[in-house]
Amino acid sequence: MNEPLLEDFEELNNELVSVFNNVMWIEEAALKQSYFSDITLKDMHTIDAISMYSEKSASQVAKIIHLTPSAMTTAIDRLVDKGYIERRRSNTDRRVVRLGLTHKGRVVYRAHQGFHRDLTHNLLDNMQPSEAETVKRAIHNLVSYLANVIKQ
Amino acid sequence: MNEPLLEDFEELNNELVSVFNNVMWIEEAALKQSYFSDITLKDMHTIDAISMYSEKSASQVAKIIHLTPSAMTTAIDRLVDKGYIERRRSNTDRRVVRLGLTHKGRVVYRAHQGFHRDLTHNLLDNMQPSEAETVKRAIHNLVSYLANVIKQ
DNA sequence: TGATTTATTTCGATAGTCAAACTAATTTTA
DNA sequence: TAAAATTAGTTTGACTATCGAAATAAATCA
């Protein structure tokens, strides 16, 4: 590994750690205080993976959020009971369960997207367009690196 | 909120979401495959909060990682049993439990720090010093924003 | 000293996870 | 085309982490 690019590499590193450690529980806490206090952040990620228009199967969603099939089933049960998502057996292959958001599900989904947009806006606060491009490149670096780690 | 700074704001936003959603489970998976497969990522965060030289009390650590006192007790039990941390009653106030890392604890702590340093290095991959400063400013924006959200 | 506060622990209940066994639907193969 | 294998999802049982309430013990206040 070559020389650090920043004198205060450690400071950046610590801030990054703090972001990772805090974002999760802030989302969790925000959910608890909201109108949607009956779901956890993990539930939220399930809803997010199902998303708006896709009609994904249960196993596709399980793969996205890294749950075993059995855990996926109970997670779906929970969210169906609470009225956030719907189960529909596929007509073309009656083994598969297609998942979709209910009206209530679409409302939380959009609220959660709003939270993430706020994060992104704040990330770019006070940046010139060219600087914003640099930030984008940095985040893209991270995505590529993580994708690489996953593959191995 | 003013105009987006990037034409492809959405793309950046999506990548940021993907980073948040993936970092956690990658850390989790990395732990499972490692020599330290007997601890979870949450355990790792406890170890991280205790850190190297501080001698924090149980309730201080609980506050940092947002656990209730009772959950903190059992989390400590777990990590003591597995040999990662040590409990010492304070001499000046015998109600308080001071926590410290064992040798094994310090080893995982450093390994985990290494993981985060890799992330930071990759974030800055192919950046000029001035660009690295911009990235640093962006992350700092995020930290400030999150700190602000916490306060409310 | 007696009452109150503080730090931690114990206990009972609950929720989410996994692995293994199972059901039902579809595809392969002989 | 009937039997075997595969695939998608569910059920069950065991386990773990969490919480809230009550208990314990030490320190501080009045």
Domains observed in chain B = 9-151 (1.10.10.10)
B143 touches chain A (CB under 8 A): yes
> Which residues of chain A have a CB within 8 Å of the CB of B18?
143, 146
Q: Give the range among A84-93, B49-58, B116-125 with minimum mean pLDDT.
A: B49-58
Decide if pLDDT at A1 tops 70: no
Task: Answer yes or no: do A146 and B116 touch at CB < 8 A.
Answer: no
Interface of A with B in 53-112 (CB under 8 A): 65-66
Sign of CA dihedral B18, B120, A131, A3: negative
Q: For B145, name the nearest residue in chain A, comparing CA atoms only.
A: A122
CA B36 to chain CA mean position, Å: 17
What is the nearest nucleotide to A91, using C1' and CA? C25
DSSP letter (8 states) at residue A91: S
Sign of CA dihedral B101, B107, B108, B109: positive
Nearest-CA residue to the C1' of D20? Answer: B70
Q: Which long-range contacts (CB under 8 A, 24 or more apart) does B80-84 make?
A: B82/B38, B82/B39, B84/B39, B84/B43, B84/B47, B84/B108
With H, G, I as helix, E, B as strand and everything else as coil, classify residue A88. strand
Angle in degrees, 0-180, between the axes of helices A103-123 and A41-50, rounded to the nearest 10: 100
Q: What does the pLDDT read at residue A151?
A: 78
pLDDT digits (tens, 9 = 90+) for A11-63: 999 999 999 988 988 999 889 888 999 999 999 999 999 998 778 999 999 99
Return all residues near B75 (Cβ < 8 A) that are at least 6 apart. B42, B43, B46, B67
With beta carbons less than 8 A apart as the criterion, state whether A116 and B17 touch. yes
Name the phi and psi angles at A55, rounded to 5: 60, 50
Mean pLDDT, residues B41-47: 95
What is the nearest nucleotide to A57, using C1' and CA? D8
The bases of strand D with some atom under 7 A from any protein CB are 7-13, 17-22, 25-28
Q: What does the pLDDT read at residue B38?
A: 94
What's the rounded Cα separation, in Å, for the pair A124 and B45?
Answer: 28
